[in-house]
């Protein structure tokens, strides 16, 4: 006998939790499933624990920058202490989430969910049937087609290390590489980033990434671009003598030349995508196209209308927590009232929490040109501005795109102190279609990161 539910939610991250609670609050019966501890990526293995580590190395970096400027004494990262602090955030999450679901009357299952039919699933030996299903299964590090890929450690593994390895090589050059390389380098590791494309952080503005690379250099991070990683080998002889030798050798090539890197840890920072394998989507008639679910504009499967998706699993918007949360709100309405709402990803800000952070919202310069828009660019490396000097952080710059005639802000790109906060003001302006004059007329508290906006415009 299968147990019937109005909604079965697969996953317990941001997308899953928000939808499950809203649908349950409307009186429907809901089951939720995860094969890992409850809480999802952001709270347990992503944004939140990462920002704890970022905050700590930021403090060390700040002290170092202010040295000889009135701040003396050495500060350094005590890695085990920092990981224990991180765990004070992550450890309580699964229990807290389970308590919430229990209080709300949501049935919990632990195990891999697997479709057995169009409206039926099995989990941990139990059969469930569902009037509707939400796929909120997130993403995983993509399998890399390189020999020795089994030696790669993910960002999750990195954030759980009990000791910081001496030499860390990162494979990939996106957000995770930028963030983890700064954390590891400022915590005392020797860090090398191997990026296949010509620069790090391809989604961000090339000029700003160029300025950011000066900070990476100051942190001692070696960034090697146009570098194709081919194999990771364990150094058997050195394993017995780790004091002198490294544990791994990373084989790479660049412009036809073979290059070797020694590493004690090799980190996967080469992208994440949903892993559909365990779900047996075929049994439910859920179609995918090149690894992506085939969804309509209401985030509903085009081949099985009982099934919706949200967050990283849907891949409809950028793979970010606020997007997962937005998708969940949209899907909850559609589940309860029929297809009413479509997601709106206009002006979603994104931040890489490197040291210093880099942030972006709206159109890139290239996209704005592609669209034939007429705009002016206000851009500067502003190392001599007060904000930069007061923080002793020379990497401080911006690029703002302002449409001719309308004065509409099309895109904002920031790097340096407060970029991660000030980007939200630009996101507000772009999403609400405010023009540059309106934003300039704001009276911002001074001296703050936002009080530079008038000069940026």
Q: Which residues bind ligand FAD (CB under 6 A)?
A: 10-16, 33-36, 40-42, 45-47, 50, 112-113, 136-138, 155, 176, 278-279, 311-313, 319-322, 324, 353
Min dist CB 310 to ligand FAD, Å, is: 6
Min dist CB 131 to ligand FAD, Å, is: 19
**In this complex, which beta carbon is closest to ligand FAD, that of residue 179 or of residue 365?**
179
- Give the chain's largest Cα–Cα span: 73
Min dist CB 15 to ligand FAD, Å, is: 3
* Torsion angles phi and psi, residue 127, rounded to 5: -105, 135
**In this complex, which beta carbon is closest to ligand FAD, that of residue 311 or of residue 397?**
311
Residues 331, 354: Cα–Cα separation, whole Å? 33
Nearest to 356 by CA among 158, 224, 213, 455: 213
- CA 139, 141, 147 angle in degrees (round to 5)? 150
Half-sphere exposure of 26 (CA within 13 A, CB side): 15
Min dist CB 271 to ligand FAD, Å, is: 10
Min dist CB 307 to ligand FAD, Å, is: 13
Min dist CB 205 to ligand FAD, Å, is: 19
**In this complex, which beta carbon is closest to ligand FAD, that of residue 16 or of residue 229?**
16
* Sign of the C-alpha dihedral computed for residues 283, 286, 288 and 293 taken in this order: negative
Min dist CB 44 to ligand FAD, Å, is: 8
**In this complex, which beta carbon is closest to ligand FAD, that of residue 215 or of residue 359?**
359
**In this complex, which beta carbon is closest to ligand FAD, that of residue 43 or of residue 410?**
43
Strand order in the sheet with 248-254: 228-234, 248-254, 257-263
**In this complex, which beta carbon is closest to ligand FAD, that of residue 33 or of residue 169?**
33
**In this complex, which beta carbon is closest to ligand FAD, that of residue 36 or of residue 62?**
36
User: Where do we find the tokens 């709270």?
Assistant: 43
Q: What is the dihedral of CA 93, 351, 15, 38, to 10 degrees?
A: -20
* Torsion angles phi and psi, residue 456, rounded to 5: -65, -30
**In this complex, which beta carbon is closest to ligand FAD, that of residue 36 or of residue 196?**
36
- Is the bond leading into 212 cis (omega within 30 degrees of zero)? no
Q: How many CB atoms lie within 10 A of CB 374?
A: 10
- Structure tokens, 415: 């790097």
**In this complex, which beta carbon is closest to ligand FAD, that of residue 42 or of residue 252?**
42
Q: Within its chain, how far is the Cα of 307 from the centroid?
A: 25
- H-type helices in 236-378, by residue range? 236-239, 321-337, 365-370
The SS3 of residue 134 is strand
Question: Do residues 238 and 167 lie in contact, with contact meaning Cβ atoms separated by under 8 Å?
Answer: no
Min dist CB 188 to ligand FAD, Å, is: 20
Min dist CB 113 to ligand FAD, Å, is: 4
Nearest to 218 by CA among 182, 264, 165, 187: 182
């Amino acid at each position: 006998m299968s147990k019937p539910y109005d909604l079965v939610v697969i996953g317990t991250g941001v997308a899953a939790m928000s939808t499950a609670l809203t649908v349950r609050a409307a009186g429907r019966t809901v089951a939720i499933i995860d094969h890992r501890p409850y809480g999802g990526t952001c709270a347990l293995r992503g944004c939140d624990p990462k920002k704890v580590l970022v905050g700590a190395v930021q403090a060390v970096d700040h002290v170092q920058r202010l040295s000889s400027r009135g701040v003396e004494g050495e500060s350094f990262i005590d890695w085990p202490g920092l990981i224990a602090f991180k765990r004070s955030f992550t450890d309580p999450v699964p229990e807290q989430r389970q308590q919430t679901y229990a209080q709300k009357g949501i049935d919990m299952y632990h195990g891999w969910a697997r479709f057995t039919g169009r409206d039926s699933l099995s989990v941990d030996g139990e059969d469930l049937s569902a009037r509707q299903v939400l796929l909120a299964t997130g993403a995983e590090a993509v399998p890399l087609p390189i020999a020795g890929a089994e030696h790669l450690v993910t960002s999750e593994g990195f954030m759980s290390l009990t000791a910081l390895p001496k030499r860390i090589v990162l494979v990939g050059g996106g957000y995770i590489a930028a963030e983890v390389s700064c954390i590891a380098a400022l915590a005392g590791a020797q860090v090398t980033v191997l990026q296949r494309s010509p620069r790090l952080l391809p989604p961000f503005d090339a000029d700003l990434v160029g300025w950011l690379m000066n900070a990476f250099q100051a942190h001692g991070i070696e960034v090697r671009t146009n570098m194709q990683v081919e194999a990771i080998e364990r150094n058997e002889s050195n394993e017995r003598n780790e004091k002198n030798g490294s544990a791994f050798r990373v084989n790479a090539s660049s412009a036809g030349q073979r290059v070797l890197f020694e590493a004690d840890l090799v980190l996967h920072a080469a992208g994440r995508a949903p892993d559909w394998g365990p779900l047996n989507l075929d049994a439910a008639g859920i179609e995918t196209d090149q690894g992506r679910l085939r969804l309509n504009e209401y985030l509903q499967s085009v081949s099985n209308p009982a099934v919706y998706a949200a967050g990283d699993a849907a891949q409809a918007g950028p793979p970010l927590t606020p997007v997962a949360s937005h998708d969940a709100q949209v899907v909850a309405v559609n589940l309860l009232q029929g297809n009413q709402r479509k997601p709106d990803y206009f002006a979603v800000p994104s931040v890489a929490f490197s040291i210093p952070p880099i942030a972006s919202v709206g159109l890139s310069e290239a996209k704005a040109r592609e669209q034939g828009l007429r705009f002016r660019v206000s851009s500067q490396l502003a190392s001599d501005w007060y904000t930069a000097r007061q923080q002793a952080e020379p990497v401080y710059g911006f690029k703002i795109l302002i449409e001719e005639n309308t004065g509409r802000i099309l895109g904002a790109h920031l790097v340096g102190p407060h970029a991660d906060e000030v980007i939200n003001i630009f996101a507000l302006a772009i999403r609400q279609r405010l023009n540059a004059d309106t934003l300039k007329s704001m009276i911002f508290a001074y001296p703050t990161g936002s009080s530079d906006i008038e000069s940026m415009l």
